[in-house]
A = this chain, B = another copy of it.
Amino acid sequence: MDEIKEGIKYLFQTQNPATMCISGSGHAGMEAAMCNLLEDGDVVLMGVTGLWGNRAGDIAQRYGADVHYVRARCGYALSFEDIREAFQTYNPKVFFIAQGDSSTGVLQSFISDIGDLCRRFNCLLVVDIVASLGSAEFLMDEWKVDVAYTGSQKVLCGPAGITPISFNQRALNKIKARQSKVKSYYFDITLLGQFWGCFGTSRIYHHTVSSTLLYGLREAIAIVCQQGLKNMIRRHIECSYRLQKGIENMGMEMFVPEPNHRMSSINVIKIPNGVDWRKVSQYAMNKYFLEIAGGLGPTVDQVFRIGLLGENATEEKVDLVLTILREAIQNTSGITLNERSKI
């Protein structure tokens, strides 16, 4: 467990002692962030660039918070101006944003500026890095992010079911100052942090952690450490560029118009006219055991989503998925794609 904590600190680029894992999926990480920080009536602002800001809003509302939203146009990142105005309108105690929204493929940039804004408004910044960590730069401490959590089974390629999370001192101070107990026992970070030995006190028994998942996650983190975080991020970005170039060469279009706002791990592609994505997806799965996903949330029936995460972020895999995507589209729709798409 201590080795895992050190590994997460490296991945998140943080020195936070309160760095640990939630024994649950990424959704559990989101819920842990919300339910520890929020009390009844607390004003929280959700940055929405796809599905995840809405989900965080649903969770915060369940826990009694006063939830507001600032929404980007679908396929676009939020502008700093939009966020600043929403801060002035709502004066939130907590602001949530997903660095990468896996439903739209939008990568939210200038998180560092949002960190500064949060400090000026005495607001806590929660960043969901479930699908982005390891495929885009993320500097928790330097960017003044107060809470962050990631997925074990995304870029890290570990087993699902265990979720790295980190709270800085500002976040812990808000938790210490709570008037009411955290409503969830299972996600109570003050107890969980004692279980994980984060606070320098002797460990307590909080719940039975899955040793199966711990060993899997430890190994996944070790593999990233061997590669080096910067190399891993560069590899993901290069592979995504290669995929995007191949897609555009076929005459198709990325869903996110602004190249700098595209995630490298989840690549979202507009479905060309006349193409039935379900047939394409089934063709690829049946013939090649290759998963080309459809849309999620706001992008259902509008896009293909191609994951290049961890082991799948290699030139060979990119070329393979492009070849299969071309074959699947041509065989299921009869459409002939651009000649220059040959790769």
List residues of chain A with CB under 8 Å of any chain B CB.
23-28, 31, 35, 55, 58-59, 61-64, 151, 153, 159-162, 181-186, 205-213, 216, 296
Contact = CB atoms under 8 A, between A and B. Distances in A.
Given A62-B181, A62-B182, A183-B63, A212 B161 contact: yes
A207 B31 CA distance: 12
Contacts of A58: 185
**Assembly of this chain: how many copies?**
2
Contacts of A63: 183
Contacts of A185: 27, 31, 55, 58-59, 62
Nearest to A210: B161
Among all A-B residue pairs, the 5 with the closest Cβ atoms: A161-B210, A27-B207, A25-B207, A159-B212, A160-B210
A327 B257 CA distance: 73
A213 B181 contact: no
Nearest to A188: B62
Contacts of A31: 184-186
A159 B210 contact: yes
Contact of A24 (B55, B181, B186): B186
A208 B23 contact: no
A163 to B, nearest CB: 10
A212 B213 contact: yes
Contacts of A216: 212
Nearest to A55: B185
